[in-house]
């Protein structure tokens, strides 16, 4: 079948364009098993896409085919923001709202759209692409690798909960989410500039974190609560957004603290609230001091660990220059990439934490796929572990040399879903 592939203009107010974008949003909702969109959701969606300059792709049945109309059989969208690669904020092509109709799977619809978008990103000089996937088995074929993990925890705050020794030099204050938003955004911007692995927020985060709109209910979020932490000088250095749940529970939606003291202050605040016996958070920071600060470390239980941010290198020298390196050395990587963006042999020479990378005809010391290179990029997984898993090839000496250069002591962390 010859599908009708098109890029939608969300600024076009013609009757046909309005019908198609409504159909496109409806197809995304159907693909993620959500309710049919109401007018309010469509208006919010369009506003966000316009604000972020989103490129909206889709595949429609050709006119005259049974089922043809404004609703596409596949959807795809992308926008450009930034990734904190460790040494700089790297331009990033963010991919979102990818769906294929259950009746049109395995027809190459996603392949055509994702490959066109990656080619466009490369042509525009965007060196990296990213997504957060609903399934872990789809995107490796296009060179995406899981680059950060998401850890969920449950904290038992029943009687006996407490810290070994903790004195907050500042204080926590409850604040309405709408009033908190300027502080939330300022804290996140500082965090984003500091934290390797962080992805810049797209515009929906303002509506979500200010409680202006809840994508689950389709209206204002009446359950969301907020608090900020003030340091000893009265400056905001952290925020937490949360909801009260059933059975004396609290679910943390988002928590960012710029200091360990602020981090522990939030846990103390949440854990000592009246009529709260359990606090959950599914984006627990890997360096959070909570476990080792508690009198009973067993009160923190890991509930889930799964991949979160997926990366795809498009410009290898540019990407490798943007990340930090742990030791001086030289290694030649041979990268296999079916799409060609990252394919080739690259000589990497690191000095004082900075890499100079160039293409070379020298034989590769270590051979790996574009997917594996992406997973190694932020340092979530060690080089030797990938070697043991059969994900990269090379003699032990070359693998050890690459590990000394590439493995990083501080873990990456991302809390931006898209």
pLDDT digit string, tens, across residues 243-287: 999 989 999 999 999 999 999 999 999 999 999 999 999 999 999
Map out the domains of the chain as residue ranges: 4-126, 150-306, 314-406
Average pLDDT of the chain, as a whole number? 97
Quick one: pLDDT at residue 191? 98
Residues 146, 377: Cα–Cα separation, whole Å: 10
pLDDT(134) > 90:
no
The alpha helices in 32-176, defined as continuous H runs, are 39-52, 109-123
Q: Could you tell me which residues are beta bridge partners of residue 252?
A: 242, 281
Please state which of the four CATH numbers 1.10.3720.10, 3.40.50.150, 2.60.40.10, 3.30.1050.10 is assigned to the domain occupying 314-406. Answer: 3.30.1050.10
Q: What are the angstrom distances between the C-alpha of 305 and each of 143, 163, 283, 288, 301?
A: 22, 25, 10, 15, 11
pLDDT, position 1:
79
User: How is domain 4-126 classified at the CATH fold level?
Assistant: Aminopeptidase (3.40.630)
Could you tell me how far CA 316 lies from the centroid of its own chain?
20
In the predicted model, is pLDDT for residue 327 greater than 90?
yes
The yes-or-no answer to whether 150-306 and 314-406 have a common fold is no
The stretch 213-230 carries a mean pLDDT of 95
pLDDT tens for residues 107-127?
999 999 999 999 999 999 999
Q: Is the pLDDT of residue 136 over 90?
A: no
Average pLDDT over residues 141-158: 97
Contact assessment for residue 55 and residue 95, using Cβ atoms and an 8 Å cutoff? no
Task: Say yes or no to pLDDT of 12 above 90.
Answer: yes
Burial of 311 (0-12, 13-18, 19+ CB in 10 A): buried
Give pLDDT tens digits for 280-321. 999 999 999 999 999 999 999 999 999 999 999 999 999 999
Provide the sign of the torsion angle of the four alpha carbons 381, 383, 389, 391, taken in this order.
Answer: positive
Q: Regarding the domain with residue range 150-306, which homologous superfamily does it belong to in the CATH classification?
A: Gcn5-related N-acetyltransferase (GNAT) (3.40.630.30)
């Amino acid at each position: 079948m010859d599908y009708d592939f098109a890029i939608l203009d969300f600024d076009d107010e013609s009757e046909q364009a309005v019908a198609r974008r409504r159909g496109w949003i409806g197809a995304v909702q159907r693909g993620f098993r959500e309710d049919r969109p109401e007018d309010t959701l469509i208006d919010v969606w369009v506003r966000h896409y316009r604000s972020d300059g989103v490129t909206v792709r889709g595949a429609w049945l050709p006119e005259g085919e049974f089922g043809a109309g404004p609703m596409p059989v596949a959807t795809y969208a992308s926008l450009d923001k930034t990734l904190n690669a460790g040494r700089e904020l790297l331009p990033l092509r963010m991919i979102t709202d990818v769906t294929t109709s259950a009746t049109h799977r395995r027809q190459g619809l996603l392949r055509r759209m994702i490959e066109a978008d990656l080619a466009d990103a490369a042509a525009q000089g965007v060196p990296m692409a990213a997504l957060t996937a609903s399934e872990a088995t789809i995107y490796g074929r296009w060179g995406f690798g899981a680059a950060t993990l998401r850890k969920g925890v449950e904290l038992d705050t029943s009687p006996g909960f407490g810290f070994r020794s903790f004195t907050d030099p500042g204080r926590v204050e409850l604040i309405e989410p709408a009033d908190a938003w300027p502080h939330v955004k300022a804290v996140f911007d500082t965090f984003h500039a500091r934290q390797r692995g962080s992805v810049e927020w797209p515009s929906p985060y303002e509506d979500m974190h200010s409680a202006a709109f809840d994508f689950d209910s389709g209206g204002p979020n009446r359950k969301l609560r907020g608090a900020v932490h003030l340091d000893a000088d009265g400056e905001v250095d952290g925020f937490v957004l949360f909801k009260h749940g059933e059975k004396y529970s609290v679910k943390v939606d988002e928590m960012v603290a710029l200091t360990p003291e602020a981090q522990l202050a939030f846990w103390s605040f949440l854990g000592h609230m009246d009529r709260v016996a359990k606090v959950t958070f599914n984006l627990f920071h890997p360096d959070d001091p909570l476990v080792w600060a508690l009198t009973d470390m067993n009160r923190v239980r890991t509930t889930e660990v799964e991949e979160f941010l997926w990366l795809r290198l498009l410009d290898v020298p540019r990407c490798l220059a943007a990340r930090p390196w742990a030791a001086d050395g030289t290694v030649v990587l041979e990268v296999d990439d079916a799409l060609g963006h990252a394919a080739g042999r690259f000589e990497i020479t690191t000095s004082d934490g900075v890499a100079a990378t160039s293409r070379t005809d020298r034989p590769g010391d270590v051979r790996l796929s574009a997917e594996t290179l992406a997973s190694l990029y932020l340092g979530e997984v060690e080089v030797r572990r990938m070697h043991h898993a059969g994900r990269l090839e090379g003699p032990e000496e070359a693998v050890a040399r690459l590990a000394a250069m590439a493995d990083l002591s501080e873990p990456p962390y991302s809390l931006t879903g898209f």
